[in-house]
Structures are given as C-alpha cells and as structure tokens.
Amino acid sequence: MSLKDKLPGQLGFGTAPLGNMFRAIPEEEAQATVHAAWDAGVRYFDTAPFYGSGLSEIRLGEALSRYKRDDYVLSTKVGRVILDEVEDAAARDLGEKSGVFEHGRPNKIVNDYSADATLRSIEDSLERLKTDRLDIVWVHDIAQDFYGDQWLEYFNQARTGAFKVLTRLREEGVIKGWGLGVNKVEPCELTLDLAEAQPDGFLLAGRYTLLDHERALQRLMDSARAQNVEIVVGGPYSSGILAGGAHFEYQKASPQIIAKVEQIKRIAAAHGVDVKAAALQFSLANPAVAAVIPGASKPGRIAEDVAALSAVIPAGFWQAMREAKLVSERAPLPIDEVKA
C-alpha cells in the first residue's frame, strides 16, 4: 500500500504550533483548534516530541482522547528524547531554528537516533498522546538546518538505529509506515539511495511550496515517485509568510522573500485568488504528494484551510505565475492535470 492509502484524505493538521511555536498559546485555544480540525473533517494529525518539549503531544493527546482511536491517523517523530530535567528553553542550540519553541516546556531535549532511544521515544510519545498505537513514525530533522556539518553523523546514527527499528516495527504490524520528517531535500535523497532502507514516505517541510520548490523538483520528486515513496508536504505556507505571517523558514522573512511574496500577492489579487488556496493546491498538484499538513493555532484557521483546498483557481493565475517565473516550468500545476 502507498502512503496515500494510509492517509484519510489530502488535508492533515500539523500541530507544531500547539507546542507554543513563536508564542504562548492558551490551553483552551489549543484544544479548540484541534476540535475545529475534527469538526471540519480532518482525520490526520501530525506531531513530535520536539514541539515544545512534548507540549504539542500532550495537548493533541488530550484533545483526541474524546474520539475513537480507529477514526483518525496519527503520526509523531523520533530522534529527540524529552527528559524530566529542565533547561533554559530560549538558550537551546537549534541550529537555524533557534528560539522557535522558547515558549514551550523547559524539559531538556536530547538528540538521539539510536535504536534504544527510538524505542524509548515511541513509548514516551504514546504516554503523552494517551494512545496505544502510532500509525506513522517520522525520523526527525536529520539535516543541515539543525546539525550543520555534523548532520551526516546523525544521519548515520539513524541509519543504523532508528531506520532498522522502524522497519522492524512496520514488518511486525506495530506501525503502518515510517520515513523522514525533515526541512531539507538532501536527507531524503540519501535515504532513497540506501539499499537497506525502504521508507514509505517523507514529511518534507517547506521544500515543496509555492515559494520554494526548485530543489525538490530537481533532486527528489521524480525519484521518490519512481520508488513509490510519497511526500507529505509540511509547512505549505512557508512558515506563515504565504498566509499573511512574517516568518519564512521559522525566522523573520528577508526583504528578498517578502518581495517575492508581494509579487505572488499581486498576481493573486489580479485573478481574485486566495494565496493560501494557491499554496495548498500547488503542492497537491504534484503526483508524488500524498497530503498537505498546514499548521494552525487558532480555530478559525482550520476553516480557511478547508476552503482553500476546494477553492476554484482560474487557469489564468497559474499561467501568469509561470510567465513571471514564480513557479518552475517543471512544476506540475492544477491546470496541467485538467489538460491531461
């Protein structure tokens, strides 16, 4: 079975914001956001221990505890073990993502992709999520943005540890699938080249979006599809900049990025198109993509995501985007599907 067969629809909910990403979210607001997603028909939820040092998992587990476990698909991640010991959350070295969860819990985060740590991480996640099983497990952030020049060392630790454990758990029927959850293309490329690793998919955040997709097109999408390894697109709004926010790659957007977004906005306005709709539909137009999982921290955002998925976008918008070279000539677009 492909990843598309394992997921209940093309729209999921990425719960990184529930870990107090960028701001402290009131508990009632976090709970209301999950329930709004459920009421809107969303049945795939993704989280990670890293998001607020377990806070996202705790909040998601509490919200989902009122629903039947068989009625939704759940994924979380391994590679970070959360301890009872505390640290200064604002002072953590998170590579390019420093400060992103400074409002989360102060519990110490240990980077560990070994077999033992993978099993411990899963057990801890099950407890925080108040559930007896996970559907999909992603190996989290074995890439340059967190580990710089050391990223290959962490990748190799995962290759000999987490990859083997997750493959065994899938074979035993404990989980339905596994893959990488990363913000960079290169770890996915490397995994596809391994004879001993056969992932089901990749959760690729920020690298196949309306704003940033060229490298993924050149290096990953075709080869992933050829191996029946499908992509879940995380961060389809590029950390918020495509949805009216100020962040790109989890940091304040640069003047160059802001200028590019303004170009997209002008073309969208000329054709009466919501940029959020264009962002979601662009990502889903690639046949290698199984689902998109935008994040949200307010209930009202969920309805916007659902509406964006079904919004009618005129062909002229996509043609104008191509002519302005704001989308790659190689990128499949919704109008290409219509022509086919």
113 catalytic? Reply is no
Q: Which two tokens stand for residue 314?
A: 């005129």
46 catalytic? Reply is yes
Q: Which two tokens stand for residue 77?
A: 């991640």
Distance, in Å, from the CA atom of 335 to the CA atom of 337, rounded to the nearest integer, reads: 5
Distance, in Å, from the CA atom of 69 to the CA atom of 166, rounded to the nearest integer, reads: 21
Distance, in Å, from the CA atom of 124 to the CA atom of 234, rounded to the nearest integer, reads: 23
C-alpha closest to that of 75 among 154, 158, 131: 131
Under DSSP, is residue 16 helix (H, G, I), strand (E, B) or coil? Answer: helix
51 catalytic? Reply is yes
Distance, in Å, from the CA atom of 162 to the CA atom of 155, rounded to the nearest integer, reads: 10
Under DSSP, is residue 78 helix (H, G, I), strand (E, B) or coil? Answer: strand
Say if residues 191 and 214 touch (Cβ distance below 8 Å). Answer: no
Q: Which two tokens stand for residue 151?
A: 């990223």
Q: If you compute the radius of gyration of the chain from its CA atoms, what whole number of angstroms results?
A: 19
Q: How far is CA 182 from CA 141, 143, 160, in A?
A: 5, 7, 18
Question: Which residue out of 6, 44, 51, 276 is catalytically annotated?
Answer: 51
Helices 162-171 and 115-129, axial angle in degrees (round to 10): 60
Say which amino acid occupies 254: S
Alpha-helix runs per DSSP H in the chain? 3-6, 27-39, 55-64, 115-129, 144-147, 151-160, 162-171, 186-192, 214-219, 221-226, 255-270, 275-284, 299-310, 315-323, 334-339
Strand 230-234 and strand 289-293: the pairing is parallel
Question: Which residue out of 6, 44, 72, 77 is catalytically annotated?
Answer: 77
Which residues are catalytic, by number?
46, 51, 77
